[in-house]
């Protein structure tokens, strides 16, 4: 009887273990959360409300593109579900919601969360538990440069340091008499843009005559613009998010200040420039400079008949019909979603978190339909900067008073 009891006990333990194993074998392809045979769940945060709500389209456009992919069978038979939460551009809320997505919702990865401070606030946590932080929506250089310390993190867009270094090199070559005033967001994002500019200016960095910071909770930056004007600067750098960028153009115009303006790329979308022009007065923003790496949906002349823009408008019409198809941030989000889908395909039929991160370290695509010709999405063993090519662009106004960005010069590789 004793031997029989032991035997049944062993069988019982084996049966229990088998019962636990079978659901994993039949309902799941991997041991990682967020994956089943038919679905993959990813999550992220974005400001759907608050001072940076203009960036809401960074999530909504990606969601629309995933719906387009799902309607065509998904990726290796899996449909992508993208759950994004409103963090109001508040890093403390970003932390709370990211923990919810990981611990409660059991997402496979955090994708496309927006903001420098916000992604910095969650990076240690995600890397400590080996949850991928994919295509952090920030140009902070650390998200590409520090991959050895943070192997589960990767950015997407060109680095802020490289962007403003390009502006600095242009000024050094073309505006020897520059006196430079800077408006910047008083955090890591704004400070990195200033450091990149100093790097590009080199010996001309002493030409920076005044800087004025603003807090992300500010409602108005009129006083900062007034102080910058008193500096006598003939060159004005706007290192700000959309709300404050628009205010900068409006207040500078009201004060009769007409410097050469540069605006950082995350606030230079054509739809924002049109708002800044105040009901069509494009001459207010004429000559402003920035960089481009995305196709501009407002430029029907340049992209008429372009297959990528046709796809973009097709996706918008079908899956985001109430969205503004002229919002360039939708284009950015579809570009990053396209690259994520490519990496997921490369990760194979049974993707794991580590497998996706390995695929993200071996990107090599010249076919992203949402990027301007010549811009590639490429990473490597010691390179975690997916997009490193941009082109200078200038806001040009025609005889009718209509404005648009016109790219000039060659594609430039971002300085390291």
Show pLDDT as tens, one digit a residue, over the chain (416 residues): 444 444 334 434 434 433 333 333 334 444 699 999 999 999 999 999 999 999 999 999 999 999 999 999 999 999 999 999 999 999 999 999 999 999 999 999 999 999 999 999 999 999 999 999 999 999 999 999 999 999 999 999 999 999 999 999 999 999 999 999 999 999 999 999 999 999 999 999 999 999 999 999 999 999 999 999 999 999 999 999 999 999 999 999 999 999 999 999 999 999 999 899 874 566 679 999 999 999 999 998 899 899 999 999 999 999 999 999 999 999 999 999 999 999 999 999 999 999 999 999 999 999 999 999 999 999 999 999 999 999 999 999 888 888 899 999 999 998 86
Beta partners for residue 344, in sequence order: none
Structure confidence at residue 24 (pLDDT): 38
d(Cα 394, Cα 408) in Å, to the nearest integer? 8
* pLDDT tens digits, 281-330: 666 799 999 999 999 999 988 998 999 999 999 999 999 999 999 999 99
Pick the closest to residue 98 from 202, 149, 107 (CA basis).
107
Structure confidence at residue 9 (pLDDT): 44
Residue indicated by tokens 């974005």: 46
d(Cα 394, Cα 273) in Å, to the nearest integer? 12
Structure confidence at residue 56 (pLDDT): 98
Task: Please count the helices (runs of H) and the strands (runs of E) in the chain.
Answer: 14, 15
Dihedral pair phi/psi, residue 228, rounded to 5°: -65, -35
d(Cα 349, Cα 352) in Å, to the nearest integer? 10
Give the pairing of strands 133-136 and 153-155: parallel
Dihedral pair phi/psi, residue 67, rounded to 5°: -65, -40
- E-strand stretches of 220-319: 235-239, 260-263, 289-292
Pick the closest to residue 247 from 51, 48, 49, 397 (CA basis).
51
- The Cβ of residue 149 has, within 10 Å, a number of other Cβ atoms equal to 11
pTM: 0.91
Tokens for 158, please give them: 């060109």
The three-point CA angle 354-135-392 to 5° equals 140
Structure confidence at residue 31 (pLDDT): 66
Domains, the chain: 31-158+300-385 (3.40.50.2300), 160-292+390-413 (3.40.50.2300)
d(Cα 245, Cα 249) in Å, to the nearest integer? 7
Structure confidence at residue 26 (pLDDT): 37
Residue indicated by tokens 């919810």: 100
Structure confidence at residue 400 (pLDDT): 81
Cβ contacts of 38 within 8 Å, gap of 6 or more: 77, 78, 79
Instruction: Give, to the nearest 10 degrees, the angle between helix 188-201 and helix 160-174.
Output: 40
* pLDDT tens digits, 325-383: 999 999 999 999 999 999 999 999 999 999 999 999 999 999 999 999 999 999 999 99
d(Cα 169, Cα 144) in Å, to the nearest integer? 22
Structure confidence at residue 284 (pLDDT): 76
């Amino acid at each position: 009887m004793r031997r029989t009891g032991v035997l049944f006990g062993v069988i019982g333990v084996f049966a229990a273990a088998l019962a636990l194993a079978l659901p994993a074998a039949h309902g799941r392809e991997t041991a990682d959360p967020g994956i089943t045979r038919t679905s993959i769940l990813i999550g992220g945060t974005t400001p759907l409300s608050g001072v940076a709500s203009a960036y809401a389209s960074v999530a909504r456009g990606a969601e629309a593109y995933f719906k387009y992919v799902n309607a065509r069978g998904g990726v290796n038979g899996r449909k992508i579900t993208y759950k994004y939460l409103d963090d109001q551009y508040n890093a403390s809320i970003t932390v709370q919601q990211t923990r919810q997505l990981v611990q409660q919702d059991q997402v496979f990865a955090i994708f496309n969360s927006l903001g420098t401070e916000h992604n910095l606030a969650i990076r240690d946590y995600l890397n400590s538990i080996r949850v991928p932080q994919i295509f952090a929506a920030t140009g902070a250089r650390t998200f590409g440069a520090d991959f050895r310390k943070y192997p589960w993190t990767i950015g997407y867009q060109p680095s802020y340091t490289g962007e403003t270094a390009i502006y600095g090199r242009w000024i050094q070559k073309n505006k020897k008499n520059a006196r430079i005033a800077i408006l910047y967001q008083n955090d890591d994002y704004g400070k990195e843009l200033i450091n990149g500019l100093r790097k590009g200016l080199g010996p001309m960095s002493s030409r920076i005559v005044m800087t004025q910071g603003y807090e992300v909770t500010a409602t108005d930056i009129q006083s900062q613009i007034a102080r910058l004007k008193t500096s006598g600067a003939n060159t004005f750098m706007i290192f700000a998010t959309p709300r404050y960028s628009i205010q900068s153009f409006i207040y500078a115009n009201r004060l009769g200040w007409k410097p050469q303006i540069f605006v950082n790329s995350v606030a230079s979308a054509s739809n924002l420039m049109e708002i800044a022009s105040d009901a069509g007065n494009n001459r207010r923003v004429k000559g402003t400079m920035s960089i481009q790496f995305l196709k501009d949906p407002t430029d029907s002349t340049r992209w008429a008949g372009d297959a990528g823009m046709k796809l973009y408008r097709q996706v918008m019409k079908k899956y985001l019909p109430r969205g503004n198809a002229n919002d360039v941030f939708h284009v950015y989000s579809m570009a990053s979603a396209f690259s994520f889908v490519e990496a997921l395909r490369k990760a194979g039929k049974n993707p794991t978190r580590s497998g996706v991160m390995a695929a993200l370290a071996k990107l090599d695509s010249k076919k992203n339909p949402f990027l301007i010709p010549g811009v590639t999405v490429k990473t490597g063993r010691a390179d975690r900067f997916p997009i490193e090519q941009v082109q200078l662009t200038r806001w040009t106004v025609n005889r009718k008073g209509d404005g648009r960005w016109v790219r000039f010069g060659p594609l430039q590789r971002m300085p390291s």
